[in-house]
Structure 1
Amino acid sequence: MQTKPLSVCLSPILACLPLFLGLSDLVFAQTVAEPTIDFQTQIQPLLAESCLACHGQDASTRSGGLRLDQRDGALQGGDSGKAVIVPGAPESSLLIQRVTSADQDSIMPPPSHGHALTQSQIDLLKKWIAAGAEYAQHWAFVPPMQQSLPVSATAKGISHPIDAFVDQRLSLMGLQPSPPASPWVLCRRLYLDIIGLPPSVEELLAFQRDGFDATVEKLLASERYGERWARPWLDVARYSDTNGYEKDMRRDQWAWRDWVIRALNSDMPYDQFIIQQIAGDLLPDATQDQRIATGFLRNSMINEEGAIIPEEFRMVEMFDRIDCLGKAVLGLSTQCAQCHAHKFDPLTHDEYYGLFAFLNNTYEAQSWVYNAQEQQQISQILANIAKSEDSIRSQRPQWESELNQWAAQLAAGGASWQPMEFNDLNSVSGLNHPVQIADKSILMLGHR
């Protein structure tokens, strides 16, 4: 059976996050039988809430020179040079001593912090340290690893990997699987999952005649597939047909929406799906479609109110793009690093503005999209212009030197401008704030 490549199916990954998390629970279901402590889901959130505000990667707020967001920092200790964590020995670990202290001046976190650890959290830290106090890389940077199928699956004759993990989890919970769905229910599930529409009576009958695999192939080949699975990505990218704010005027963003649908229906690999949306206009000999793809970066709200400073809201849109890029593509929350090094996710203040600089290199110019007939007409016009220019050049072989001479004559005979220096640039209303800059030109920042 042919299926859509995994690269395409990854595009709506955030919208399907609950499903993927559910499957990950199934993949690691053996942890229910053999409890182990997972750093990312159990320890890191605990440290983030109670410790990392003062002992994280933000050097400007770090207390005592101690970092708890990295294993090396915890083992080396802070300014005192004493290890805060002793792997395998929780009672010898200064971390446990401080979080269990009865001294209000020594207990961590300080009472003023407001996030005192509960006894269950302290017990969890002790178990983690006793097990070796292993840290883990941020989940967004950990490559997916294929898991071995549960041993029980083979014995039960279960061939599909998902069924095997589901069966294992059900067994651990003492539950029995539901009976097989009727053909009508199964057909309806297929239609809703793949194209987002229920089947008609005729399609239900066709499913009974053609079978499961053939129906899947038919639905994957349908244009409705791209429409169904574009929706989660459009939500992640903050797509809207209007600009937002108080006027909420309509905008022509549909061209990018249709590009996403076409990309999914054409099985575009995920790397190209992302590259074209972030930098399609910078690709060699970029096509109109690749330029349209960069509409991903133009989904921010646009403020069209009269009394605004345009540059201020251009920056608001830039910050929104970085936030969207972090959550949609990188699996990171970036907003904290806008003002300081992120206290929880691995993103520094400098790294944030390094990323910011990649996108902050253009103004909010409007791009034009042309249909096939218009593109053909434009190509013909450009060809005629090139032909005319070639003809002129052949008639005047010295055209370049003649053009330079003519330009020099114009410059020599031009008027002599004397810039004026203003002493008072206040307006009667007090709303306008023009500024005269070093070259004596006037810069109007807008209304305030």
Structure 2
Amino acid sequence: MKKHARKQNPAGPARWWLAAMVAVGAWTVVVPARADEPADSNRQPGASDREPSAGEKRFALEVRPLLREKCFGCHSSEADEMQGEFDLSSRESMLGGGDAYGDVAVVPGDAAASYLLAMVRREEPGYEMPPKEAEALSQEEVWAVRDWINHGAPWPDEERVAEIYAEYAEGVRVSTSGGLSEPWTNRKYKPEDVWAFQPIERDFADRLDGHDGNPVDAFIDHGLEQRQLEAAPLADRRTLIRRVSFDLLGLPPTPEQVRQFAEDPRPNDVAFAALVDRLLESPHYGEQWARHWLDVVRYADSSGFANDWERPNAWRYRDYVIRSFNEDKPYDRFIREQIAGDEIDRDDPEMLIAAGFLRMGPWEHTGMSVAKVTRQQWLDDITDTVGQVFLAQPLQCCRCHDHKFDPIPTRDYYRFQANFATTQFATVAAEWLAEENLRGMEEDRRYHEMRHRWNEQSLQRLNEKQKQYEREWFKQRDLPYQSKAEAKKAGAAAEDLPSGKLLRTPQEFGLERIARKWRQRFGWELDRYEPLAFTVYNGSTREPPRGGGRIKMPKAPLKPTELPQTTILTGGDVFSPGEPVDPGVLSAVPGGLETAITGKRGGRRTELANWIANAENSLTARVMVNRIWSHHFGRGIAGNPNNFGATGEKPTHPRLLDWLATEFTENGWSVKHLHRVIMNSRAYRRASTHPNPQRLADVDPNRRSYAVFLPRRLEAEEIRDAMLFVSGDLNPEIGGIPVRPDMNLEAALQPRMIMGTFAPSYVPNPKPQTRNRRSIYITRLRGQRMPFMETFNQPGSSTSCERRDQSNITPQVFALMNGRDNHDRALALAHRLLEATGGAEQGETNRRAVVERLIRLVYGREPLAGEVDAMLQHWRRMLTRQQQLHFDPPEWPTTVVREAIDENTGKPFRFTEKLFVYEDYQADLARHEASPEKRALSDLCLVLLNSNEFIYVY
């Protein structure tokens, strides 16, 4: 291109486009593709065969949206600080060129002489525009700018642009009129970006007519035919029962169950369908699938943030979710109960517990919090959470500005948020349900109260010192008082009252702070044993109590007062309220504009829930069936279960997704029905290896065709539960208060800081049968996660988890091979095997029977050729080693010492915490109690528990 002299931009070229991606209300539309267009064009300015001219169409349909999306953030009158005085908001200002370019910025009719084209082509080092490579214009977009300049760079007015746009733009029109801001009216988007907002397709005759098998396979097979890719054969029965058992229960099958299924004389389809039905009736089904839901809603037993206060009654919501899946509660009802259970029936404890969903996120209000800010943080959090969980629409992007990629304006965000404007927190009485498990409370409460009493004694000793120091203070001043309280009651002058606490040493100040904080913690945590619901109510907004503690419902929550008025917050700032808005829903969803939400104090959430749970809502059913599919196949049909927007992965089989959504709603929103439909398909029952792996790698490298079943590693909870199960240690009780399993002592006793002091140490339950319950019942503290769970990708509870990661990292190897819990499980498994077979002392024949039983328990199959001999050899080698070892009984700590700096004096103090649990702690079978033979066998068991065949599902 021609080189032109230019002025230097005093601000520097690198800063010109820093804000180039700021969205100001325009969107790229779909235009006819020009993939075969040459790299340059010789068309003359103004060449056109019809009106409007080609240049005008280029401008209206392509260039104008590009300028608004990519350029106006820095180069328009709308920019906070215009860069280089180069203004692209009008033709006149653009041709002026600003400080740097003058009349060569854009030369109408000569794109090659226009410096703007060189910038967007990224041909000039240091002046590439936009500066971020990830935001660079596509080849087609560069062509659009080039052709528009060559056509004379026409700039039709807004009315003409609207006419051209209405007539020639291709794409999906998403109307957001009806009171919304003008720039949002009648916008158009790429069809693939707004697929989730389009009505669910209901007619599948072209795909299903003539297909006599499972409808799921009709859609999957069509894709395979298009790829000319054959499918893998069906997996063998042993593989299938292990796969389906982990999918539905999170537990492996027993050897007896494997044998029964393998020997079932019925045809494969019939036998497998019966197996699925049996597993769906297990109470453990609800535990496994509630765990998936709790990932999405961010369940935890503590609040997070600086104090990480425990939520003593949150466990009732966890059990509500388990019951709901076991009962196959219709999903539309499940939605309504969680969003508006307290409005549906405030006298039903189940409904109050269900509404605890609204309080599952992290939240805290302290003495340093601003109530208005804390309140707005929750409103923003619940708005985004409801959007992700039920609609797969992350809404936080709209808090400060209109969504950059999806048809969701800021106004919609605050209309949606207004549905929660009257929702307030409370912990209220809710009698125990007959289905709730109350066992274990007395044991747990006893240890909790011991810690509480011990702390009260410490506080009492400090109070006595405080009283002594007060008496001495008054005596030194010859005042006739014995205490500050007495002096106040007598009306003493301010100068005759001691200021603050009279504690003297860093030790006293430090211990007093700990004891006072723990009094609040322990006292509130006793709520765990009371029939209370962690829930919400409708009422006027009031400042919550600072710190932890039960938030009580006022006697007159609906007392007539001014209703909270939701406004659009300028820049998302709670102190910059803008235009008021009424409660509403997402306008781009079909029927969204016609949906009316009450403006009254009560009933808003019920109407919102009814809109979400409507079968005609284009998002809701698609979202749930996609979640279910993702847990069966390792990925969703749409790859981001929480994001059906333009930035999420598009569906690989959109018509299958719509068929499943239709099947779901037409069969009473039954999740179990959907399991049956999906799992009985050939796609689910395929082997994980392909007969032609090279062909599969060439045609489907990302494995999106479902030609094979994708193996998956067990999730953290499944690994732990499976080890407990095969070792015979698993306590299968359903529901109840959270439990505390063993944690590595180095992690358990690490000092954990809470605001201004220490948190109490983590201690396990004293009895093995309590510790060894399923992982879903483990206490989930946001500020102290279980190391094993975290290592194996259990998500945190601060944000909604749409899909768990599957990393492979070295700490996982150490956790499995060296972790104390895993050694305990291996020893327990060895004990179980020897007890069941009469002991290794019976001779070599019995040893072989032990190993064969071990393989059946851990792998769910018969031994392979040579496998038993290899394992026997390892057992003997380990026996030789174990006979040389000696183990002492483990010693459990009964105290732990903390050292810190007292913030009042700036000097160190020491605190000794008493660990009552370890005074009568009952350990699992320990190595010093086991014979060398049993320990040697446990070494073999540990190898199998670390193997891929145990850790993976194929």
Task: Give the 5 Å matches for 1:301-316.
Answer: 301-303=362-364, 305-316=366-377
Which position in structure 2 is the counterpart of 1:176?
230
Once the two structures are overlaid, the 10-residue window that deviates more, 144-153 or 320-329, is: 144-153
- Match for residue 276 of structure 2 among 204, 209, 216: 216
Query: Does residue 1:279 correspond to 2:333, yes or no?
Result: no
Distance 2:144 2:322 in 1: 46
Q: Considering only aligned residues, what root-mean-square deviation do their CA atoms show, in Å?
A: 4.4
Task: Give the 5 Å matches for 1:409-424.
Answer: none
- Match for residue 225 of structure 1 among 262, 285, 294: 285
Q: Secondary structure at the match of 1:54?
A: coil
- Match for residue 23 of structure 2 among 43, 49, 53: 53
The amino acid across from 2:24 in the alignment is C
Query: Does residue 1:200 correspond to 2:254, yes or no?
Result: yes
Q: Percent identity?
A: 33
Query: Does residue 1:139 correspond to 2:176, yes or no?
Result: no
Distance 2:250 2:197 in 1: 32
**CA drift at 1:132:** 6.9
- Match for residue 356 of structure 1 among 413, 417, 427: 417
Which position in structure 1 is the counterpart of 2:538?
none
Task: Give the 5 Å matches for 1:307-346.
Answer: 307-346=368-407
The amino acid across from 2:303 in the alignment is N
Q: Secondary structure at the match of 1:346?
A: coil
TM-superposition CA deviations, 1:161-180 (whole Å, max 9, x none):
22233333333334322122
TM-superposition CA deviations, 1:361-388 (whole Å, max 9, x none):
1432223332148x9xxxxxxxxxxxxx
Relative distance call for 1:153 and 1:355 in structure 2 (3 A) is closer
Determine which structure has more spread, i.e. the larger CA radius of gyration. 2
**CA drift at 1:338:** 1.8
Asked if 2 retains the 8 angstrom alpha-carbon contact of 1:323 and 1:335, the reply is yes
The amino acid across from 1:298 in the alignment is R
- Match for residue 358 of structure 2 among 290, 297, 318: 297
Q: Secondary structure at the match of 1:364?
A: strand
**CA drift at 1:349:** 2.5
Relative distance call for 1:303 and 1:68 in structure 2 (3 A) is same
Asked if 2 retains the 8 angstrom alpha-carbon contact of 1:288 and 1:369, the reply is yes
**CA drift at 1:352:** 1.9
Which position in structure 1 is the counterpart of 2:316?
255
TM-superposition CA deviations, 1:309-360 (whole Å, max 9, x none):
3442232122111110111112212112222333333333232222222212
Distance 1:281 1:97 in 2: 52
Distance 2:308 2:346 in 1: 35
Task: Give the 5 Å matches for 1:366-385.
Answer: 366-372=427-433
Distance 1:444 1:165 in 2: 53
Distance 2:196 2:243 in 1: 31
Q: Secondary structure at the match of 1:365?
A: strand
Relative distance call for 1:147 and 1:180 in structure 2 (3 A) is farther
Distance 1:262 1:341 in 2: 40
Distance 1:444 1:202 in 2: 56
Relative distance call for 1:180 and 1:147 in structure 2 (3 A) is farther
**CA drift at 1:217:** 0.9
Distance 1:236 1:356 in 2: 20
The amino acid across from 1:225 in the alignment is Y
Task: Give 1 or 2: higher helix fraction.
Answer: 1
Q: Secondary structure at the match of 1:133?
A: coil
Task: Give the 5 Å matches for 1:14-163.
Answer: 53-56=23-26, 68=28, 92-94=57-59, 95-96=61-62, 103-105=114-116, 111-112=129-130, 114=132, 115-119=135-139, 133-135=170-172, 138-146=194-202, 148=204, 159-163=213-217
The amino acid across from 1:194 in the alignment is L
Which position in structure 1 is the counterpart of 2:870?
none
Q: Secondary structure at the match of 2:428?
A: coil
Asked if 1 retains the 8 angstrom alpha-carbon contact of 2:62 and 2:144, the reply is no
- Match for residue 299 of structure 2 among 239, 245, 249: 239
The amino acid across from 2:136 in the alignment is A
Asked if 2 retains the 8 angstrom alpha-carbon contact of 1:240 and 1:253, the reply is yes
TM-superposition CA deviations, 1:220-270 (whole Å, max 9, x none):
111122221112221111111221113323212111111111112222222
Once the two structures are overlaid, the 10-residue window that deviates more, 243-252 or 89-98, is: 89-98
TM-superposition CA deviations, 1:177-203 (whole Å, max 9, x none):
212211101111111222222111122
The amino acid across from 1:111 in the alignment is M
TM-superposition CA deviations, 1:63-105 (whole Å, max 9, x none):
xxxx65799xxxxxxxxxxxxxx99x89953245677966445
Asked if 2 retains the 8 angstrom alpha-carbon contact of 1:318 and 1:356, the reply is yes
Relative distance call for 1:123 and 1:163 in structure 2 (3 A) is farther
Which position in structure 2 is the counterpart of 1:365?
426
Q: Secondary structure at the match of 1:267?
A: coil
Relative distance call for 1:152 and 1:313 in structure 2 (3 A) is closer
TM-superposition CA deviations, 1:284-327 (whole Å, max 9, x none):
56411111111110012122654333442232122111110111
Asked if 2 retains the 8 angstrom alpha-carbon contact of 1:279 and 1:294, the reply is yes
Relative distance call for 1:245 and 1:69 in structure 2 (3 A) is farther
**CA drift at 1:153:** 9.7
TM-score of the superposition, structure 1-length normalised?
A: 0.57
The amino acid across from 1:135 in the alignment is V
TM-score of the superposition, structure 2-length normalised?
A: 0.28
The amino acid across from 2:195 in the alignment is W
Query: Does residue 1:164 correspond to 2:218, yes or no?
Result: yes
Distance 2:354 2:169 in 1: 47
Q: Secondary structure at the match of 2:295?
A: helix
The amino acid across from 2:431 in the alignment is Y
Relative distance call for 1:108 and 1:275 in structure 2 (3 A) is farther
Which position in structure 2 is the counterpart of 1:380?
none
Asked if 2 retains the 8 angstrom alpha-carbon contact of 1:245 and 1:303, the reply is yes
The amino acid across from 2:229 in the alignment is L
Q: Secondary structure at the match of 1:363?
A: strand
Which position in structure 2 is the counterpart of 1:406?
none
Aligned residues: 305
